[in-house]
Amino acid sequence: MPEFMAVLGIWLGAFFTLSIFSFLYKDNPFYKLAEQIFVGLSAGYWLIYSIFNVLVPNLITKLFFDFGNNIILLVPLALGIMMLFRIIPSTQWVSRYPIAIVVGTSAAIAMLRTMQTNLLTQVTATMVNPFQFSSPVAIVGTILVILGTICGIYFFYFSKKQEGIYAVPSKIGIWFLMISFGASFGYTVMARISLLIGRLDFLLRDWLHIIK
Amino acid sequence: MTSINRTVLERRIVFLVLAIAVALPLVFPLGLKTQVTPLTEKAYDLVESTPAGSVVLLSFDYDPSTVTELQPMAQAVIEHAWKKGHRIIATAMWPQGSQMADMAFADVQGKFDNSKVYGLDYVNLGYKVGGMVTMQAMGRSMEAVYPKDMSGLDYKDIPMLTGIKSLQNVKYVFSFSAGDPGLTHWIMVAKDKYDIPVAGGTTAVSAPGFLPFVNDQMQLHGLLGGLKAAAEYEFLLGYEGAASLNMNPQSVAHVLILILIAIGNVKAWRKRKSVQQEASKNA
């Protein structure tokens, strides 16, 4: 039986992969079927997974078997129930309170760490003396980092018209931005091709057994 | 044929040629070699320089949609860590990450003749909701966040976790990350709050966003970006795994895309020229 299920799984996987690929020719019922099954299945999976791996162990079990020590959990339970009020239009306003708490708490927790990691440490990392390095590659690289950072930020400075001498750093900044967009595009191509490789590898190896 | 029909036809031809260009090298590998970049070397050096017996944390922050890119990385790093005698704690900030960890451990176990013992050499603590909040809580107490592992064993009954009170007790964190929560939060919490070395493996799409973190402040100790970096790591370990083999079709596809970009530009240039000529004729 497990072997049959494994084979069935592979055939279903192949069918849905080809159905999704068929969209590249044109929109068709096979693509729509695969798309809708994928969306429905994902939503169902997430719901069940969340219930049994998040709600049950973290809330329901604790409240049922050790209520005295977990009385505080009534607060998230109440907030969770308040969220469900969104379903009824006339009581939607109730759900704004838990959403506000979630957004406010998340922002407060993230703010300090984001400031530290994405701003302060990043700025510190740019304030490097390029000539402390012995290798010419490191010296040139560090100068480029400093130049690119300053000119890239200057490009987004709109409080003064960028003309004449003031336009020079902005133009250098555009070059750095374009090069970074090019690198991002290259990486994106690699990622998308990797996904295609993954599916073709599945079809040719697991389904058709052409690759051993 | 109208220009719209021609565009649709051309697009289909491009898809077909791309599919063939990827499929053929999968069936008939070209044996292309990859060059190791400093970013991969740095990540490799972090694992290499960590003493034997250290407890390290690998976080599986991805799901099956990015398995082609991230699973080979995870397997290579697990193999490297086990070769160096590290004991691995696996966590997951994505729900299906814990299954990805199980698959990776099972695959690498084969190379060690299944000699690695669960609870002594590795443990899978499973998925926890919460992202950065969970990571910060791990900095206070690992046991409070993970009272049990994936199989239901109590934290205190797992031998390799004796002495691991909090995140500060692990020697490095290596996050395989397909998005949020993931590597960004590990940098914020593990590195910038607790000063634990962090390295990462990401999908190629998100790799450029992490490059600024590989800096002199050592926010990231190396970065594996996409399939190529996974192939580089395999090369450093001295074997050709899934990533190395998949770099054959990857390279062919890249050459094809460059050719297609060139053809597209020539076509656009010719079209613009003919429009300009027509305009000058009419004038």
> Quick one: which of B191, B158, B161 has its CA closest to B174?
B191
> Quick one: which of A135, A138, A177, A133 has its CA closest to A155?
A177
ipTM for this model: 0.88
A29-50 and A2-21 are packed helices; what angle lies between their axes, rounded to 10 degrees? 130
Q: How many helices (H) and strands (E) does chain B have?
A: 10, 6
**Cβ within 8 Å, pair A197-B26:** yes
CA angle B254, B260, B263 (to 5 degrees): 145
Cβ(B118)–Cβ(B153) below 8 Å: no
B242-282 and B3-27 are packed helices; what angle lies between their axes, rounded to 10 degrees? 160
Model confidence, pTM: 0.90
The shortest C-alpha distance from A182 to chain B (Å) reads 10
**Cβ within 8 Å, pair A109-B136:** yes
CB < 8 Å to B217, chain A? 121, 124-125
Q: Are β-strands B87-92 and B122-127 bridged in parallel, bridged antiparallel, or unpaired?
A: parallel
**Cβ within 8 Å, pair A204-B18:** no
Residue ranges in chain B assigned as alpha helix (H): 3-27, 38-49, 67-83, 97-109, 132-140, 142-145, 183-186, 207-210, 226-237, 242-282
- Could you read off the pLDDT of A52-101 as tens digits, one per residue? 888 998 899 999 999 999 999 999 999 999 999 999 999 999 999 999 99
The shortest C-alpha distance from B271 to chain A (Å) reads 24
Contacts of B39 (CB under 8 A, 6+ apart): B211, B214, B222, B223, B224, B225, B229
Closest residue to B204, CB basis, from A116, A194, A211: A194
- Could you read off the pLDDT of B42-85 as tens digits, one per residue? 999 999 999 999 999 999 999 998 999 999 999 999 999 999 99
Place B1 in a pLDDT band, splitting at 50, 70 and 90.
low
The H or E element spanning position A108 is helix A96-114
B152 phi, psi to nearest 5 deg: 95, 5
Place B33 in a pLDDT band, splitting at 50, 70 and 90.
confident
